[in-house]
Chain A
Amino acid sequence: MTLMRAFRAGLGAVLCLSAISCGGGSGGSTPPPPPPPPPPTSNVASVIVDQGPSGNSVNTLFTSITVCAPGSTTSCQTIDHIQVDTGSYGLRLIAPLTVTLPVQMLASGNSLVECTQFVDGFSWGPVALADITIAGETASSLPVQVIGDSRFPTVPTGCSGTGTAEDTVATFGANGILGIGPFELDCGDCDTNAAEGVYYACASATSCTETTVPTAMQVSNPVTHFAADNNGSIIDLPAVAATGAVTLSGSLIFGIDTQSNNQSGTETVLTLDGMAELAITFNGATLANSFIDSGSNGIFFADSNIPTCTATGLTTFYCPGSTQTLGLSIQGANGAMVNNLTFGVGNTQTMLNANPTFNVFPQLAGTLPAGNAGTFDYGLAFFYGKRVAVAVEGNMTSVGTGPYIAF
């Protein structure tokens, strides 16, 4: 209930803001004022970093979204704590939902079900259609995944063979995920290659086989399906104290250069490669497979000079004797560079012990496997105190063509 109120309050604040920007006194008397322009689509969603519905999230960004059965204005549900993720594509919701969304049927007559693969597990559930609304933006009949849907309880062995299930709010850490990264589709070649093991055709609830699927039926980045403001998005978060905070609130702004509140300025545009990656130079090495990702909850890199923590469950996080200040440079596929950024690496155990109620930790950093020497994964902490634009592939703004990240 509190979350619903928070959402309504957020919505109210947004409406308020647009009212302020649209309002304005007219001083004249005689000529009738021209008709006001149609109000722009409200394109700002409230976002927050908090403990999440599982109660143990850190550096995880959430928003709310309204989902309706296609064509309905009454069969709807507003869902809070949907994770905002620039490292994935598509909207996924954890069942059970109060609204029933129709599962997409393949030309074969079989139901379309997805095995979404994450690094640490998989999420199994049908691909259904929904009308979605976030801020004032809408996407109609959007393919979305319903994870853990009781209509398809049996996970094929090919899917369960990729790891552990993340099909409940507790195991997923969110009520859903909003993938708004720089690509449109959640699979690069699933229209022609069934062997990815991502999409399945289910003749029944228990009989599913890998399948190809037309791109229009695949789960895809909702931003690209908005009627307006559909070329990308901007995450705008305030700075936070080095020690962290309980929560952090900001804005998710849809569109780039489509309205007065999402104009490009003097930021540097770093284009991304075919993996949505760029190069980060750190400790004298250029790490060509790096990425900036709101869905990563720490700053992850390999540095054998920084000790890791010893506490159970924390052994992949860093625990230096004192806070380390390190530097890096970022280079886009277009050659554009942002030099001399610095970041702090705190002692994870110390920061958790000092502020056990905090959920925002800008200096939380961890290791990558030693074999993964070509990657620097800069998570949500990168977004703190910045306004970061992510343009989707093939879409133009006044300063470039996606896929790019700009800040």
Chain B
Amino acid sequence: MPIFRSGEFKIAARLCAVLIAALGPRIAGATLGEAETSVQSDVAQLRASIKTSEDRASYRVHEIQLPSGTVLREFVAPSGTVFAVAWHGPSKPDLRQALGKYFDAFVSAPKLKFADRRHLQIQQGDLIVQGSGHMRTLSGRAYLVSAIPGGVSLGDLQ
């Protein structure tokens, strides 16, 4: 026996959509600079799934498979803070979600003197965002310089 008649279901679905839309931006900005629990809200917001969670020497990596085909990795320090995110795949992740409160600094930062649509290098205070690639294959990462745990090489953050 259906819980809703179809008309009721439609109304309920619309209500849900409105609620999600209203709550969406307020769900903890998630990720960069946030607590590890924000990884789960990223997964929900990005309609994604966690592929692997791996403990490395001085940090933990959650690898999130996005429905676009892109893989997003979130790096968590022993303190429990997400100190870096990195992506690779056919399209970029929602950086408003992945960069959280740092997104505005990211988009307002000055670009390189010679921009060419293939490279990205932004430094705004503690935040560094980098990218490279070409159409159909894009890579990038964002990290907080002061939050990188000791012993972590920048080359690991990919």
Contacts and interface: CB of A to CB of B under 8 A. Distances in A.
Interface string A66-95: 000000000000000000000111000000
Interface string A182-199: 010011110001011110
Contacts of B121: 315-316, 369
A162 B135 contact: no
B137 A275 contact: yes
A163 B153 CA distance: 26
B40 to A, nearest CB: 19
Contact of A276 (B130, B134, B138): B134
Nearest to B111: A120
Contact of A120 (B86, B90, B115, B137): B115
A230 B66 CA distance: 35
A277 B132 contact: no
Interface stretch (B29-37, B55-63, B94-102): B94-102
A186 B136 contact: yes
A101 to B, nearest CB: 22
B157 interface: yes
Contacts of A89: 135-136
Contact of B68 (A173, A197, A300, A316): A197
B149 interface: no
A119 B133 contact: yes
B156 interface: yes
B154 to A, nearest CB: 4
Given A163-B107, A275-B137, A369-B132, A118 B96 contact: no
B91 interface: yes
A25 interface: no
A181 B133 CA distance: 14
Given A196-B68, A370-B155, A56 B135 contact: no
Contact of B119 (A119, A183, A187, A198): A119
B134 A162 contact: no
Contact of A195 (B47, B110, B132, B156): B47
A382 to B, nearest CB: 13
Interface string A362-378: 00101011111101010
Contacts of B97: 161
Contact of B67 (A164, A193, A375): A193
Contact of A300 (B106, B110, B132): B132
Interface residues of A, number: 61
B76 to A, nearest CB: 17
A297 interface: yes
A35 B155 CA distance: 67
Interface string B43-83: 00001000000000000000000111100000000000000
B117 interface: yes
A120 B140 CA distance: 10
B41 interface: no
Contact of A313 (B110, B118, B141): B110
A183 B118 CA distance: 17
A314 B131 CA distance: 16
B120 interface: yes
B158 A372 contact: yes
B112 interface: yes
Interface in A168-187: 173, 179, 181, 183, 186-187
Contacts of B93: 162
B144 to A, nearest CB: 15
Interface of B: 47, 66-69, 86, 90-97, 103, 106-107, 110-121, 130-141, 153-158
24 contacts: A56-B113, A89-B136, A117-B91, A119-B118, A119-B134, A120-B120, A161-B97, A173-B116, A193-B67, A195-B66, A196-B91, A197-B68, A197-B91, A275-B136, A297-B118, A300-B118, A300-B119, A314-B112, A314-B113, A368-B119, A369-B140, A370-B155, A371-B156, A371-B158
